[in-house]
Structure 1
């Protein structure tokens, strides 16, 4: 009996070991590499954050140049310090608030850290680096609103920290410090407020800094001059703290607030009252582990697995919370507001990018979050008078084209994600933002936001198109506004206003005004109705052409709300297919001395590195050559997403590039947000399970391999899909989607 008991115990022990090993091997966090996208033009950062958290605590290695928009670039070997706010994957830089740098053995006036890549590691919720010349190892983690630092010094008698309040992330883009105020609470605690001006015209962040030990010496420099004040105001303030001889790690907590120091204090008390760094890391990782359960996949391809879970991770950086734990936040009108019950304010909506794949992905894996964000956009209309298109820190930046918030709103309504929406206000917000508002324009005249948020609408209403001799990027504005007007019509229809819906459905056909049947492209048109000349579809000028960040090839296929109507412009499905063939097979030469640097990831003139191309491969599903969708998706999925720093082929753009990969890796895409229909692609995973309210939606790809890139047939719950489309309702009910793959099309 004793022998049997020992045997059973041994079996249970070994089973436990195997179970633990399998759990470790299958842990999704093991497949997240935060360094992916930090090279080339990906513009991501590797530091510590939580899903949609206010704090993104990361090293600033570079403060000049486009490829350092996030503050970090993989090829750099210098660290200026660790700041608490960053943008993931944007084409413009900003933030970089409240920078700290630990140091020993350095000129205290300007310490700079040097590091080797072998001494740098990152994983979800955690970052670590050894600063070899400063003889210190820095580790970072975070809660939603608090950054947590741990510094381990080689020299126990030379423990210093620089707080650099003059730090600016992108001075070459006009990013500048407006004002700092800071005051000492005690020998371990400081509070203050920073105000900067840059991409965000008026950006405020308040903070509270707490050290785990009292400092023994403090040197302060204000505008480069020594100061003995402990309550300071100025632009360039630097504090150098020296701590007593000690072998222990020094800990620092920095809480942020979008309102004031009192808010920062409440945030730190609510989220990080203790000093357990390891426990905070575990909590951050647990948060990420839960967030990444929305879709789980199975594949023997380790590259696909790393690409997938890293992409899912990058899809949960923003929009991020811009509200204190007490519910206060700064509105678009710069007033301090108290959030009503159930409402959360968010910032960093890269809408022109993210309406295409990121927001549709979130409607699937985090539907409650998608509803929150749509309502947050409507609230910004209530506060500022217009829907934003790239809100940053309670600012209308006016960046990019049209009024894409209407897409997010229309999709949320179409999928039933905001059951308590005030539809009259939603309709009002959409219609107001899509029509000429002279009073709003006059009120904001002279600002960049006024010029780029309103003028194109004035011309659309005057001519029915945007004249190229009056507005730069006229074609991009025109074709995108046609889609957004369809979204407005859908919102108005849901609100029961058929008259307004009919008006905007008519405007949604205005994209036809840009189509030149003689060339087969969308072209710039002058105010007198003549085509703009000269014309070359491969020509690009980043700042002065008729196309935003692209050329005629990359902008002639955008009418997602009326794809069949666009096909008719070309004359037939075969003619449309031929035009698409030209897009994908012509030479990849881009003409023009000032061609946009965003045109990357080329297959012919298809440019996957920028968002206007992201739906184009799926247009073959509207022709008689649906297999070509699978052919080109296979190329993109395997060649343009790689598990390396340069592994994202263009700007990550707040989750859009990554969300595109997530959806396409499991085999489908939504061409037209607002129309809750998905179209079939080419899965690269063998199995996927999507967590939905109905349980799970299972995806199986039979005979899947790199060679078997084509689809023989597709079954939805055992029934053959005769056309490559299924509905959001089908997905949300749960069920099974089966792909049968083949090497032949």
Structure 2
């Protein structure tokens, strides 16, 4: 086994102190530097359990079930475990899932035992998790295949061996998540199968499962709505089944296969992926898959902290979207019917698109280009099934979460980079145009449900006025400036399909961001239907979900027109004025005004907020002025101060890989400001060398004279030629070659 990382949870004067992380010194294996506990503290909302790259199963301990910090089911400061469930979200601001929970126990007669544990007994590595349940005197180990979770329980008391299957367990029940129905059948003394239905962030979520036990159960006790019930088949909302096993010195093994369709699908998944009982072999297979996945980008640096941050970020960038399709090709579509996937197609879920279009999806176009193309096609397929492109699809549900229609960004970028050569571009254009155009019947059909927000009334106002009036609806500025960018993406998709007329219509709509710019204040600002500015106005004011800005304020929303940087700079009065405005952003006080200010505004440098996605491109905007050195200065601050190798080491919600993907790209020295435009702009690398695998071989990045002191870039050389501007193309990267940074201590 790879060396253990131990975590010491110190409780002193009731204050949480960060732990020490030990790492194999001078290791060359990226696997050794992945720390799944990073992001499990503060509000990173990651989980430490076992999963595979983009796997259906995320088998992890549930320590936290109430409130914001229960979004992933785990928080590092907790000392109790409710059990081990098989589905989790990584880094979201809303929770769901937590399906099919198991808890091994001794020494308890409680209907619902709860375990205690010490942090020193926890171990987490890619594909493997281990913990000792102190009061229950059981050591639990977890690993997984893509669709099957594998448990090993070692009981110290070999004559008191029990497992609780808790089918009433869910995450965030205080936020409206609830169990709707459970149907479970005890097939025989070693097999249980069933279907669990819940309602929460996903309005209609179904997971089917099959549980195989390595030993026959000695006794079953089943409780339906807390009343003991006899039989072998049960229906109810809250079902708990206690399995008791005969005395045995050997560890007890449990396999749980999931299906998005039915019990038969779960059984097929089990037989295809994990027919045997070799736990050590399963760990090895899972960890070898992670070793291979982590080879997409390899780095060289003497800074152990950078290595840990980098490879953990790369790991976090491969946890979602999830595979949502059985081995026989069946999956549940957005129309809630069962589909048979055509050859070469895989259905996925958990696309946090408003977050991930910015860095996560661009990263995947580099390290997993085929996967990026598959995901873009999967989004279009969701349109075919459901009628609109999704914003945040979860378990075959439209959630309507966040701003605009960001799927168009992922689609436009995939087309610009040639990743979907066989795409039906007429279907793609239809999906993009329909989703960007007011559909009143959609709103009526889904009234009162989350899906209604996939077609928010902001789109209606955009078409009526050309802008979204702030006295008619909240988040007007955020929707307005982002829809302008998405309309540019729609135009690019239409252009690729050969429809020049539609492309030109949407290129015009892409200029709508200009409506919100107030020259008297220098900010994007709420505008009323009569054309007057909304008052009062303070650029530092935030009111979560009730102001003109989503999860932010005017400072954090006034610099978003990535598709038209020349036009944006012109609004500000030219390059010098734009630079001065950026200076104000980064150097003004970090005071956030408003009693109900958004908790997502974290990681502040002035009013730049790295803890939330709208700010993620802003440091690079100096590259469009004559002060690129300021880009390098602020990136250095962000990379070294906002990413730390500790549980609280992510400065905001991880958001399904976005925060981590940002680090991966920026650590090797570049970023894509405008997905859909396949151009990268130069930053400040914190690695000495990086090798990026590309179809032609490798793209080598070297930072000469790199150090914490030498944070500025003197010149950049691409394949022997000095760059005149801080930009290069995706095509340059994909052809392979060498990008050289020459670093200096002086700007």
**Cα deviation per residue 1:101-121 (whole Å; 9 max; x = unaligned)?**
000001231210000100101
Following TM superposition, by how much is the alpha carbon of 1:24 offset from its aligned partner in structure 2, in angstroms? Answer: 8.8
Following TM superposition, by how much is the alpha carbon of 1:469 offset from its aligned partner in structure 2, in angstroms? Answer: 1.2
Asked whether the 8 Å contact 1:42–1:651 carries over to 2, the reply is yes
Asked whether the 8 Å contact 1:145–1:257 carries over to 2, the reply is yes
| Partner residue of 1:298 out of 294, 297, 300 | 300
Alignment of 1:130-529 (within 5 A): 130-451=132-453, 453-529=455-531
Aligned counterpart, 2:20: none
User: What are the ranges of 5 or more consecutive residues in structure 2 without an aligned counterpart?
Assistant: 1-22
In structure 2, C-alpha distance between the alignment counterparts of 1:446 and 1:148, rounded to whole Å? 39
Asked whether the 8 Å contact 2:412–2:675 carries over to 1, the reply is yes
In structure 2, C-alpha distance between the alignment counterparts of 1:609 and 1:256, rounded to whole Å? 34
**Cα deviation per residue 1:680-725 (whole Å; 9 max; x = unaligned)?**
0000000000000010000000000000000000000010001000
Following TM superposition, by how much is the alpha carbon of 1:454 offset from its aligned partner in structure 2, in angstroms? Answer: 2.9
Asked whether the 8 Å contact 2:147–2:269 carries over to 1, the reply is yes
Asked whether the 8 Å contact 1:108–1:240 carries over to 2, the reply is no
In structure 2, C-alpha distance between the alignment counterparts of 1:68 and 1:239, rounded to whole Å? 24
Following TM superposition, by how much is the alpha carbon of 1:451 offset from its aligned partner in structure 2, in angstroms? Answer: 3.8
Asked whether the 8 Å contact 2:82–2:114 carries over to 1, the reply is yes
| Partner residue of 1:743 out of 737, 740, 745 | 745
Aligned counterpart, 2:705: 703
Following TM superposition, by how much is the alpha carbon of 1:437 offset from its aligned partner in structure 2, in angstroms? Answer: 1.0
SS at match of 1:598: coil
**Cα deviation per residue 1:245-285 (whole Å; 9 max; x = unaligned)?**
00100000000000000000000000000000000000000
Following TM superposition, by how much is the alpha carbon of 1:449 offset from its aligned partner in structure 2, in angstroms? Answer: 2.3
In structure 2, C-alpha distance between the alignment counterparts of 1:310 and 1:428, rounded to whole Å? 39
User: What are the ranges of 5 or more consecutive residues in structure 1 without an aligned counterpart?
Assistant: 1-20
Asked whether the 8 Å contact 2:361–2:372 carries over to 1, the reply is yes
**Cα deviation per residue 1:58-104 (whole Å; 9 max; x = unaligned)?**
00001001012100000000000000000000000000000000000
In structure 1, C-alpha distance between the alignment counterparts of 2:125 and 2:258, rounded to whole Å? 22
**Cα deviation per residue 1:650-680 (whole Å; 9 max; x = unaligned)?**
0000000000000000000000000000000
Deviates more, 1:106-115 or 1:654-663: 106-115
SS at match of 1:729: helix
In structure 1, C-alpha distance between the alignment counterparts of 2:455 and 2:142, rounded to whole Å? 39
| Partner residue of 2:81 out of 79, 82, 94 | 79
Asked whether the 8 Å contact 2:391–2:454 carries over to 1, the reply is no
Alignment of 1:34-45 (within 5 A): 34-45=36-47
Aligned counterpart, 1:594: 596
In structure 2, C-alpha distance between the alignment counterparts of 1:215 and 1:24, rounded to whole Å? 48
Aligned counterpart, 1:547: 549
| Partner residue of 1:717 out of 700, 704, 719 | 719
Asked whether the 8 Å contact 1:668–1:678 carries over to 2, the reply is yes
Asked whether the 8 Å contact 2:81–2:115 carries over to 1, the reply is yes
Asked whether the 8 Å contact 1:28–1:292 carries over to 2, the reply is yes
Q: TM-score, normalised by structure 1?
A: 0.97
Aligned counterpart, 2:9: none
Aligned counterpart, 1:10: none
| Partner residue of 2:690 out of 683, 688, 697 | 688
Following TM superposition, by how much is the alpha carbon of 1:165 offset from its aligned partner in structure 2, in angstroms? Answer: 0.4
In structure 1, C-alpha distance between the alignment counterparts of 2:451 and 2:194, rounded to whole Å? 29
In structure 1, C-alpha distance between the alignment counterparts of 2:340 and 2:604, rounded to whole Å? 47
Asked whether the 8 Å contact 1:102–1:136 carries over to 2, the reply is yes
Deviates more, 1:727-736 or 1:444-453: 444-453
Following TM superposition, by how much is the alpha carbon of 1:23 offset from its aligned partner in structure 2, in angstroms? Answer: 12
| Partner residue of 1:108 out of 100, 107, 110 | 110
Asked whether the 8 Å contact 1:437–1:454 carries over to 2, the reply is no
| Partner residue of 1:99 out of 98, 101, 118 | 101
Following TM superposition, by how much is the alpha carbon of 1:452 offset from its aligned partner in structure 2, in angstroms? Answer: 5.1
Q: What is the root-mean-square deviation in Å for CA atoms of aligned residues?
A: 1.0
SS at match of 1:62: coil
Aligned counterpart, 1:48: 50
Following TM superposition, by how much is the alpha carbon of 1:26 offset from its aligned partner in structure 2, in angstroms? Answer: 1.0
Deviates more, 1:466-475 or 1:662-671: 466-475
Asked whether the 8 Å contact 2:220–2:243 carries over to 1, the reply is yes
In structure 2, C-alpha distance between the alignment counterparts of 1:292 and 1:619, rounded to whole Å? 30
In structure 2, C-alpha distance between the alignment counterparts of 1:144 and 1:275, rounded to whole Å? 16
- Give the number of equivalent residue pairs: 725
In structure 2, C-alpha distance between the alignment counterparts of 1:215 and 1:721, rounded to whole Å? 69
Aligned counterpart, 1:121: 123
SS at match of 1:580: helix
In structure 2, C-alpha distance between the alignment counterparts of 1:54 and 1:374, rounded to whole Å? 19
SS at match of 1:426: helix
SS at match of 1:391: coil
SS at match of 1:582: helix
Asked whether the 8 Å contact 1:445–1:451 carries over to 2, the reply is no
Aligned counterpart, 1:624: 626
Following TM superposition, by how much is the alpha carbon of 1:572 offset from its aligned partner in structure 2, in angstroms? Answer: 1.1
**Cα deviation per residue 1:134-177 (whole Å; 9 max; x = unaligned)?**
00000000000000000000000000000000001110110000
Q: TM-score, normalised by structure 2?
A: 0.96
Q: In structure 2, do the counterparts of structure 1 residues 126 and 500 end up closer, same or farther at CA, with 3 Å as the change threshold? A: same
**Cα deviation per residue 1:275-334 (whole Å; 9 max; x = unaligned)?**
000000000001001111100000000000000000000000000100000000000000
Following TM superposition, by how much is the alpha carbon of 1:229 offset from its aligned partner in structure 2, in angstroms? Answer: 1.7
Following TM superposition, by how much is the alpha carbon of 1:46 offset from its aligned partner in structure 2, in angstroms? Answer: 0.1
In structure 2, C-alpha distance between the alignment counterparts of 1:451 and 1:352, rounded to whole Å? 14
SS at match of 2:35: coil
Corresponding position: 1:29 with 2:28: no
In structure 1, C-alpha distance between the alignment counterparts of 2:24 and 2:224, rounded to whole Å? 56
In structure 2, C-alpha distance between the alignment counterparts of 1:174 and 1:693, rounded to whole Å? 47
Q: In structure 2, do the counterparts of structure 1 residues 451 and 370 end up closer, same or farther at CA, with 3 Å as the change threshold? A: closer
User: After the TM superposition, which segments of 4 or more aligned residues of structure 1 sit over 3 Å from their partners?
Assistant: 21-24
**Cα deviation per residue 1:321-350 (whole Å; 9 max; x = unaligned)?**
000000000000000000000000000000
Asked whether the 8 Å contact 1:216–1:242 carries over to 2, the reply is yes
In structure 1, C-alpha distance between the alignment counterparts of 2:450 and 2:386, rounded to whole Å? 15
Asked whether the 8 Å contact 1:64–1:172 carries over to 2, the reply is yes
Following TM superposition, by how much is the alpha carbon of 1:477 offset from its aligned partner in structure 2, in angstroms? Answer: 0.3
In structure 1, C-alpha distance between the alignment counterparts of 2:720 and 2:730, rounded to whole Å? 17
